[in-house]
């Protein structure tokens, strides 16, 4: 069973099969096997667009196929969330809190930290699983609650390693293929050199090129990429 906030939908393509692991194969294997294990406490950090959300949503997709495995996925940057919401996740087999970095600057940041601290302890006592993502490792986040910082630092900490340029070119071509676009390796390299290099931005570039190509009925070329993306 899967539980996510109201008015929130998982990305259809955010699956394990669609994740380009690169140097993150060990983490990918560990997440795939989570439904078979207990008492895993994992903290995943990496720069924006490195694939943290993709991995948690992939885990959520996987959990939706299991009747005897209850997973809660909560993107902490969702507007209108309150710390009290976390008390409802006690008893789940796995709780995924996406982007702890987004709550640190909030007015009620300490309330959130206390709520996460209590959730951590309750899940630990029940031998359940907790996965948290952030832009930085626990030591690099301004967490006021020392007990929470200690708990986070004791988790299995994994930094998502960015894809190499070759990996990013393959990622661009894969995303283009999903849209039915023919994007040569040369064009993928051009987009990587001229545009923003994080995976979120690269994905958005492919979406824009797809829409513009359909509207203009034009093939993807370097001049077309430059025109559409303003490079």
Indicate whether 152 pLDDT > 90: yes
> Rounded mean pLDDT of the chain?
89
Tell if the pTM clears 0.75, that is, is over it.
yes
C-beta separation of 89 from 95 below 8 A: yes
pLDDT tens column, 91-118: 889 999 999 999 887 878 999 999 999 9
Indicate whether 2 pLDDT > 90: no
What pLDDT score does 67 carry?
Answer: 73
**What is the rounded distance in angstroms from the CA atom of residue 224 to the CA atom of residue 209?**
8
pLDDT (mean) for 122-128:
93
Indicate whether 3 pLDDT > 70: no
Domains and CATH numbers, the chain: 2-159 (3.40.50.300), 165-229 (1.10.8.60)
**What is the rounded distance in angstroms from the CA atom of residue 14 to the CA atom of residue 58?**
5
* Confidence category of residue 1, pLDDT binned at 50, 70, 90: low
């Amino acid at each position: 069973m899967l539980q996510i906030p109201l008015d929130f939908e998982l990305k259809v393509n955010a699956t394990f099969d669609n994740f380009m692991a690169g140097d993150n194969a060990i983490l990918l294997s560990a997440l795939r096997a989570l439904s078979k294990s207990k008492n895993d406490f994992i903290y995943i950090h990496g720069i924006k667009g490195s694939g943290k959300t993709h991995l948690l949503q992939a885990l959520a997709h996987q959990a939706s196929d299991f009747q005897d495995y209850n997973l809660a996925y909560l993107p902490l940057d969702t507007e209108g969330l309150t710390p009290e919401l976390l008390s409802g996740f006690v008893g789940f087999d796995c709780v995924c809190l996406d982007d702890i970095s987004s709550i640190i600057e909030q007015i009620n940041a300490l309330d959130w930290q206390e709520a996460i601290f209590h959730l951590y302890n309750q899940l630990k006592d029940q031998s359940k699983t907790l996965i948290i993502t952030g832009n930085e490792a626990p030591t690099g986040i301004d967490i006021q609650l020392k007990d929470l910082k200690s708990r986070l630092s004791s988790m299995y900490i994994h930094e998502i390693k960015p894809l190499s340029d070759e990996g990013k070119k393959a990622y661009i071509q894969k995303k283009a293929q999903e849209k039915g676009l023919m994007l040569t390796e040369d064009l993928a390299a051009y987009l990587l050199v001229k545009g923003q290099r994080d995976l979120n931005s690269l994905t958005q570039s492919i979406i824009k090129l797809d829409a513009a190509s359909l509207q203009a009925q034009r093939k993807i070329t370097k001049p077309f990429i430059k025109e559409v993306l303003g490079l």
